[in-house]
Amino acid sequence: MNRHASGILALAITIALTAACSSGGDGGGIGGSGIVAQGTITGFGSAFVNGVEYNTDDTDFTVDEVAGVEADLAIGMVVRVTGSVNDDDVTGTAERIVYDAELEGPVVNPPLEGDEGQTKSFTVLGTNVVVTKSTTVFGNDVPGFTFGTVSQHDVVEVSGFFVDADNTLRATRIEKEGRFDPANPGNTEVEVEGTISDYNAINNTFKLGTLTVTFDIGSTELPVGGLRDDLVVEVEGSLQDAATTMIAAREIEIEDDYPDNADNAEIQGVVSGFSGDLSNFAVDRQPVDASGTGVEFEPSSLASALDNGIEIEVEGPIVNGVLFADELKRRGGNVEIRAAVFDKDASTLILELVPGAPGRIAVSVDATTTEFENEEDDRTFGLADIGIGDFVEIKGYKTGSPGTVIVAATKVKRDEDEPENEIKVQGPVDSWNEMNDRSVTVLGVKFGTDDNTEFEVNDVEFSDAVVFFDALSEGDIVEIKDELPPGMTLGDGIAKEVEKED
């Protein structure tokens, strides 16, 4: 299990520092030193992680704590890479790649839909898991396992990023391992990590949140030094009850904290604990200080737009337990588009939402940072496989110089089974006109509205368009949907739904 950033990064940096000491510190990479990177796999051919194409010809792979091969990895998995990065900052060599899912267990409750059917949330071993229709990769080892079919009692393996201290996991990839049988809970293998409480050395039990863990001194593999309250551990074992609240442990491992000092680290994750102070926040629960002189923000607007819940990549040394950022890069993003491809070249997709050039959006793609996905979960699927007229779903963020609109894509998905009867654009609102044509412009594309348009603010419907427009402010995130006639790729430019998002 990845154990969010804490366990894997601590282990990885320890390995990297040990290797550097044993070799006299002459390893390659940024500044001539080794590097540790944690992030999602965005492509293969080598292995693309955090914008770097790592050569894997001589890489050692560890998958779910056993020796593996590159073919065991897949798009969307959060992995840890130890190795080196070349002077160009976009190529490198991986000495070791480790994948271990954050969580494995049964879905306790029927998944709850959110964001008008774009997200689902459910509980697995006390962890709130959130999957997103446009960004979470659903593994297809079990035929028919999709966003639409994930259900109560599915046993799932989840890779992703922890969003906050409330134990919410934003899934980047989820795979179905089987089905939970409440009548035979002991047949279900699970993995979970947490902090020990209520340790009882007489009864050989302890708590991980709401979970009760039992262990056997003679048969359970225990950590050297024993167990105690407040110790962070990973537990592997089997469920013991239909309510999935009791685990019989087969193995218990200590989860180490971050090292106090490390030369180079890259962490991809979600910002938390941010209150406007660049010197004090966390990324995937690693303390970060980005207030230093010369810190690079990509895009530059990220310096003022940083907020909780934003997915970023942060790079820099760790000193006394704090990662002092040299560079922060935007990942994820609040822009979403679903439309047909009008044109393309080697690095750009042109999507057309409204007839004519003003209704088109340029989407930049990058082989090292943009994640590609199609329905078949094809490891080699990329820009070259997308054709004119294909419907794609884009996740990214707005960039470009003043007066221009470019969307930098962090994910491109072609879902061949999706009905091609709707286009969608979500992003910061540019302008609106409530008096004349009652139009809304998002990402440079102008949509009109009429008496049939549905208006919503935070899921509350408004029949009066004026009330809706009065609630708008420049920069608010607005989602626009337009239904298409059968067989058509463009509508009439009149929005069917306009919603102001949280």
Give the mean pLDDT of 165-178. 88
- Asked if residue 238 and residue 161 are part of one domain, the reply reads yes
DSSP state of 266: E
- Asked if residue 379 and residue 322 are part of one domain, the reply reads no
- Asked if residue 356 and residue 458 are part of one domain, the reply reads yes
Number of domains the chain is built from: 4
Banded pLDDT at 418 (limits 50, 70, 90) = low
Q: What is the pTM of this model?
A: 0.76
- Asked if residue 158 and residue 114 are part of one domain, the reply reads yes
Banded pLDDT at 219 (limits 50, 70, 90) = very high
**How far apart (Å, rounded) are the C-alpha atoms in residues 151 and 190?**
17
- Asked if residue 165 and residue 121 are part of one domain, the reply reads yes
One-letter amino acid for residue 209 of the chain: G
> 345: domain range?
335-500
Q: What is the pLDDT of residues 287-299, one digit of tens each?
A: 999 999 999 998 8
**How far apart (Å, rounded) are the C-alpha atoms in residues 325 and 24?**
26
My answer on whether omega of the bond before 299 falls inside 30° of 0, hence cis, is yes
Q: What is the pLDDT of residues 45-56, one digit of tens each?
A: 889 898 888 999
- Asked if residue 436 and residue 293 are part of one domain, the reply reads no
Count of Cβ atoms closer than 10 Å to residue 276 Cβ: 8
Q: What per-residue confidence (pLDDT) applies to 32?
A: 33
Residue 380, domain CATH: 2.40.50.200
Give the mean pLDDT of 334-358. 90
Helix (H, G, I), strand (E, B) or coil at 7: helix
Give the mean pLDDT of 411-416. 81
- Asked if residue 124 and residue 247 are part of one domain, the reply reads yes
Q: What per-residue confidence (pLDDT) applies to 166?
A: 63
**∠ CA 172-44-396, rounded to 5°:** 45
Q: What per-residue confidence (pLDDT) applies to 332?
A: 81
Q: What is the pLDDT of residues 83-110, one digit of tens each?
A: 888 888 888 999 999 998 889 999 999 9
Residue 190, domain CATH: 2.40.50.140
Burial of residue 280 (CB within 10 Å: 0-12, 13-18, 19+) is: middle
Residue 9 has pLDDT above 70, yes or no: no
**How far apart (Å, rounded) are the C-alpha atoms in residues 317 and 120?**
36
Q: Are 64 and 57 in contact (CB under 8 A)?
A: no
- Asked if residue 476 and residue 458 are part of one domain, the reply reads yes
Lowest mean pLDDT among 126-140, 317-331, 410-424: 410-424
- Asked if residue 144 and residue 85 are part of one domain, the reply reads no
Lowest mean pLDDT among 25-39, 190-204, 270-284, 425-439: 25-39
- Asked if residue 118 and residue 234 are part of one domain, the reply reads yes
Lowest mean pLDDT among 57-71, 121-135, 363-377, 429-443: 363-377
Residue 31 has pLDDT above 70, yes or no: no
Q: What is the pLDDT of residues 239-261, one digit of tens each?
A: 999 999 999 999 998 876 555 67
Banded pLDDT at 431 (limits 50, 70, 90) = confident
**∠ CA 369-86-286, rounded to 5°:** 60
Q: What is the pLDDT of residues 368-408, one digit of tens each?
A: 778 888 766 667 788 888 999 888 999 888 876 555 668 88
Banded pLDDT at 417 (limits 50, 70, 90) = low
Q: What per-residue confidence (pLDDT) applies to 11?
A: 35
- Rounded alpha-carbon distances, angstroms, from residue 43 to 38, 180, 320, 412, 448: 15, 32, 34, 12, 39
Domain boundary (207, 234, 254) is at 254
- Asked if residue 304 and residue 409 are part of one domain, the reply reads no
